[in-house]
Structure 1
Amino acid sequence: IADEVICGFGRTGNMFGSQTYNITPDMMTVAKQLSAAYLPISGLMVSEQVFDALSEQSGKLGLFGHGYTYSGHPVPAAVALETLKIYEERDIVARVRELHPKLKAGLSELGNHPLVGHHRCVGLIGGLEIVEDKASKQSFEASKKVAAFVAKRAQEHGLIVRPLPGDIVGCCPPLIISEAEIDQFMDRLGKALDDAAQHFGVN
């Protein structure tokens, strides 16, 4: 089962993250990027093998059916169809591939910061691992919530990033971000890291 809720629909430089990592899942979950997060919608895609098993057993045991009150709601479905059309018209996947080197280079440069023990980037999704000691990669005590502090300071500088478990700062910019905006992204994130280094006494 591949969770494509975040890494699906172009985020990693292919339509699905499974393609980026050469995985052929039996099932894929999809959600917010199906509608560009404008309306709530989610779905489950299944392979032909899984579908055939469900179909065959439904013939023997009765229809395999389940649903919720708002399943198949026409408004989110219409928004999802339009979103997919826009992804194709704007060639969002190609745009992500084009911008990936810029985001990767920016995160790589921030990787030199005293607080950053490791950086990574695939397509337009990346992360910075925050550490107390760069040489040994020693982590901060979890109770200090350093990544959360960085995220809060970033927001005060006009940037939204996400603190993740393990003191990771997750970076997931809009797929329509420009090169100039990536520069702003890195500048503001750099300021947040500087603020955190000063606050936690890391030179």
Structure 2
Amino acid sequence: MNDTRTLREYDRKHIWHPFTQMREWEESDPIVIVRGEGCWLIDSLGNRYLDGVGSIWTNVHGHAVPEINQAVKDQLDRIEHATLLGLANDKAAILAKRLVDIAPPGLTKVFYSDNGSTAVEIGLKMAFQYWQHKGRPEKTRFISFRNAYHGDTIGAVSVGGIDIFHAVFNPLLFKAVHAPSPYCYHCELCLEKNHADCNRECLNELERLITANANELAGLVIEPLVQGAGGMIVQPPGFLKRIRELCDRFELLMIADEVAVGFGRTGSMFACQQEGVTPDIMALSKGITGGYLPLAATMTTKEIYNAFLGEYREMKTFFHGHTFTGNPVCCAAALASLDLFEENRLIEALEPKIEYLSERLNSLSKLQHVGNVRQCGMIAGIEMVRDKTTREPYNWEERVGMQICQEAKNHGLFLRPLGNVIVVFPPLVISLEELKFLLDGIETSIINICG
């Protein structure tokens, strides 16, 4: 086996990392992960790091899970891949049925792809083409939210709303309508009044924008309950239900991006279920295989599916596909993951962990440079500020969040921030003891860096 020095050299010389300034990376000595064990990552030197971000929001049951490992091995002994173009396969069919059984009622059709961006992209194209088939060709635009992140393909970026990620690509994008974020910690309204006023104003502005553009709008895209990459921004209770009502009133298809929040992360299997909402289209990925393999699903209703049925000459077919659509190895991992949800009663087991996380976040909120903490289920964001009284933020160029995450490595943690927001997003199977280790390490790292 190559030694750590060689592996680092290969990485620096040949790999272009995502969301990374490579000049800085080339000057670093990266941790080289070679093994996983439960909630822990183990590097080439034998050091152990608690995976505090679930390998970027994907991991559910931990690493190297025997049951999922065996399911993948068994499937590889049968067949590795068979196209869904002109064929069916057993694992894709069984998984589709399982997803329909656990999804919000009415979502009965599954279109497979391989990552969250494509799941959203498919939803946008479905919504657009649906209205064409319904004789409403003017409904071609989408409304979404500022601070939203829906992926990195061009359509997904078009409905995104984070300038630092998206602005450079503006010449390539279609023009969406962007509504105010449902919860904006540093906006003037919040500073002058309170968050309840801010949320009310956001909904009022959303309704105004929909009213002004309703004839052109094909759909509304939302991350239910939590805007992830925007800073773990948690929506107020009832917000999602209000969105469903607006979509119904103005004839918009509601597209729920559950890529990050699905599969137990918010405390229910899907975030939409917490407010009894069924979207018209729901995008899934990340946790669908327990974090094992790339797989995505875009779920929709029979009403939308039926609009694409017709004679071949009518050209109503949904002309979209991916080479590895419904890959049976990925589907086998997803089925094993769903089995573990049931066998371990994982959703029910989250309650004490969510409660403990809430208690610790409340304690952390009292630290001198913690301006705000946000939580929804097993998702949390700890926002760092220069001045707690005025809520003056650190400049993003100061990279205080990254400094804290670098310090956390010294305390046996792997974390990845969103600007100056420290993200807490561990595997759902994390024990209370491990959760304590995680929060203790975060607290120590914040104090060591910020005082």
Partners of 2:450 and 2:405 in 1: CA distance: 13
Deviation for aligned residue 1:90: 1.0
2:422 is aligned with 1:194: no
Find the counterpart in structure 1 of residue 349 from structure 2: 95
Percent pairwise identity: 33
2:273 is aligned with 1:19: yes
Deviation for aligned residue 1:169: 1.0
Is the 8 Å Cα contact of residues 354 and 378 (structure 2) preserved in structure 1? yes
Deviation for aligned residue 1:58: 6.9
Partner of residue 183 from structure 1, selected from 426, 429, 436:
436
Partner of residue 112 from structure 1, selected from 354, 358, 366:
366
Name the aligned partner's letter for residue 117 of structure 1.
Answer: G
Partner of residue 149 from structure 1, selected from 382, 394, 403:
403
Rg: which structure is higher?
2
Partners of 2:346 and 2:312 in 1: CA distance: 39
Count residues in correspondence: 197
Task: Describe the shift of the 1:8–1:56 C-alpha distance in structure 2 as closer, same or farther (beyond 3 A).
Answer: farther
Provide the secondary structure at the position in 1 that maps to 2:372. Answer: strand
Higher relative contact order (CA 8 A, sep 6+): 2
Offset from partner CA, 1:27-77 (integer Å, 9 cap, x none): 111112111111111111112332222335878424324212211111111
Is the 8 Å Cα contact of residues 118 and 128 (structure 1) preserved in structure 2? yes
Is the 8 Å Cα contact of residues 381 and 421 (structure 2) preserved in structure 1? yes
> Could you tell me the TM-score, scaled by structure 2's length?
0.42
Task: Describe the shift of the 1:187–1:34 C-alpha distance in structure 2 as closer, same or farther (beyond 3 A).
Answer: same
Q: Give the CA RMSD over aligned residues.
A: 1.8
- 1:124-135 superposed matches below 5 A: 124-135=378-389
Offset from partner CA, 1:127-172 (integer Å, 9 cap, x none): 101100011111011210111111121123111222114x211110
Find the counterpart in structure 2 of residue 140 from structure 1: 394
Is the 8 Å Cα contact of residues 128 and 169 (structure 1) preserved in structure 2? yes
Is the 8 Å Cα contact of residues 115 and 130 (structure 1) preserved in structure 2? yes
Partners of 1:3 and 1:161 in 2: CA distance: 24
Partners of 2:343 and 2:315 in 1: CA distance: 44
Partners of 2:311 and 2:344 in 1: CA distance: 42
Name whichever of 119-128 and 21-30 sits farther off.
Answer: 21-30
Provide the secondary structure at the position in 2 that maps to 1:85. Answer: helix
Name the aligned partner's letter for residue 196 of structure 1.
Answer: I
Is the 8 Å Cα contact of residues 12 and 96 (structure 1) preserved in structure 2? no
Is the 8 Å Cα contact of residues 308 and 316 (structure 2) preserved in structure 1? no
Name the aligned partner's letter for residue 151 of structure 1.
Answer: C
Please identify runs of 4+ aligned residues in structure 1 that moved more than 6 A: none
> Could you tell me the TM-score, scaled by structure 1's length?
0.90
2:426 is aligned with 1:173: yes
Task: Describe the shift of the 1:57–1:131 C-alpha distance in structure 2 as closer, same or farther (beyond 3 A).
Answer: farther
Name the aligned partner's letter for residue 186 of structure 1.
Answer: L
Partners of 1:148 and 1:59 in 2: CA distance: 56
Task: Describe the shift of the 1:23–1:160 C-alpha distance in structure 2 as closer, same or farther (beyond 3 A).
Answer: farther
Partners of 1:187 and 1:131 in 2: CA distance: 20
Partners of 1:197 and 1:57 in 2: CA distance: 65
Name whichever of 116-125 and 14-23 sits farther off.
Answer: 14-23
